[in-house]
Chains A and B, each alone.
Chain A
Amino acid sequence: MRAYLDPGAAVVSVAVAMVVGVYVVAVIDGTAGRLAAGAGRSDLGAVLLDPLRTVALLLTQRRRRTERADAPGWALAPGLLGGLAATGLAVVPVGPGTAVADPSTGFVVFATAIAFVMIAVFLHGWSPNSLFPLIGAYRYGAQALSLQIPFLLAMLATALPAESLAVMDIVEAQADLWNVVRQPLGLPLYLMVGVGVSFWGPLNLPDGADLIGGTSAEDAGTDRLAWELARAAMLFSIAAMGAAAFLGGWWGPLLPGPVWMALKTLFLLVVMVSSRHLVARVRIEPFVVACWAVFIPLALVNIFVSGALLL
């Protein structure tokens, strides 16, 4: 029988996990920024408290509405993105037999949540009826559609050893060897896609600096806060799924399963979040060409090789 929590406990546990995850993302981002800027390490208090202070600041800012905006869409978009992050996080197993939800098609549910991010970002860019948000929305459409197939193929390869689409089974199948060793191409592809889907750092094309904030260019107050929180939550849930599908989930010596999950998620978060301070933004056209012409063949090679090894 598949593991499921009852709805009340599920909502609470996912909400708590997301709050913790978002705070960790903000702290890692602040630390990585300070290290990249070469500032001293004496600012620990600022690193830990600035995210909370910025949340308070955004709560005091008043919201804005532009002329003839699509107000329901504008209000819905951050909530949709947050809900998708929660959906993705819910299917990640925490320990052997422990998960918020473990449907037999868990991997497909996660992929659906990732695909729906396109809708949330497009809605966020379309609704303000303004130039730069609209361009950001188009760009994300091109970026996300190009990333979707490499993502599905990279994750599909992890389902092959497990012979199941349930994430719990995918983790169980890594008892002897983690997928990152069996399928070395999978994790780098997955991380790149993860950064791309949550439009972070080098792949932050919809909210880019050349579009003065892109889809968030007209946001203020709680709209902006909700969007940033939802984006960080998406990054966190992608890192959690990466830890489960590629780094062996709860398997590991000495420490209990959930602690290993947390450590592996933290490791992937550090890699993904710090990319923002290390690599410049990609150019959209060469990136789209690279996705279709380079990353899809690489992902296919990954699948063929892991399939061949299994036969």
Chain B
Amino acid sequence: MNRSLTVDVLFWCFAAGSVLTGYLVFRTDSMVRAAFWLLASFVGVGAILVLLAAEFLGVVLILMMAGEMLIMAVVMVMFMMNPAGLNPMFMVHQHRFAVAAGVVSFAGLSAVALTVDFPDQPVDPAVDATAELGFELLGDSMLVFQTAGVALLATMIGAIALASRNGRFGTADEGSLEPALDIEELESP
């Protein structure tokens, strides 16, 4: 089996897998399964990126999605009363609007995919894509990524401050209640 046939077969497998698992996100009643189907879809996309010789981007996509999908699953379990779909209920909200939005997006993206002229240059095997990416990140695109990096760091610090035990008016264990506004009457001596 020559190399490009293997690559083609793998591409179609990953593509079909991503589409199928994406569809399953909406068909399953269990929120944790939905998060993990979405993760599987992203893994398929990451694998396709690796096939396109963008190794670093593909693997980093998979790395990031693991943590993100886990947090999504946990947040859904935290806030939903029926996260595993064990209680019989209709699990979808704003059904018609969502379907309409999906159809419109699909039509738009398909139009883009069919009409745009995508580049068709095979990457030179001697080029190390990771090194090239590194040069790009710290060369021409440095401003963008440094700004994004600083913004992410600020977000992280803000999240840690929000989650910290000490609120403005005391520790979270004691409710961190702000002091009352009215003045108490003192007993006469």
Contact = CB atoms under 8 A, between A and B. Distances in A.
Contacts of A141: 70-71, 74
A165 interface: yes
B82 interface: no
Contact of A165 (B67, B69, B71, B130): B130
Main SS of chain A's interface residues? helix
Given A112-B62, A145-B71, A148-B67, A126 B32 contact: yes
A101 to B, nearest CB: 12
A165 B56 contact: yes
B80 to A, nearest CB: 13
A104 B33 contact: no
Interface in B52-89: 55-56, 59-60, 62-63, 66-67, 69-71, 73-74, 84, 86
A292 B33 contact: no
A115 B67 contact: yes
B19 to A, nearest CB: 20
Contacts of A126: 32, 73
Contacts of A105: 55-56, 59, 130
Contacts of A104: 55, 128-131
Interface string B125-168: 00011110000000000000000000000000000100000000
A287 interface: no
A118 B67 contact: yes
Nearest to A142: B74
A145 B56 CA distance: 21
A119 B39 contact: yes
A129 B83 CA distance: 11
Contact of A115 (B63, B129, B131): B63
B43 to A, nearest CB: 9
Contacts of B30: 70
A141 B69 CA distance: 11
Contacts of A111: 63
A158 B62 CA distance: 22
A17 interface: no
A103 B160 CA distance: 35
Contacts of B74: 122, 138, 141
A68 interface: yes
Interface string A133-145: 0000010010001
What 8 A-B pairs come out closest when comparing CB atoms? A112-B63, A115-B66, A108-B59, A105-B55, A116-B66, A104-B130, A105-B56, A118-B70
Interface of A: 68, 70, 73, 103-105, 108-109, 111-112, 115-116, 118-119, 122-123, 126, 129, 138, 141, 145, 148, 164-165, 292
5 contacts: A105-B59, A105-B130, A108-B60, A115-B63, A126-B73
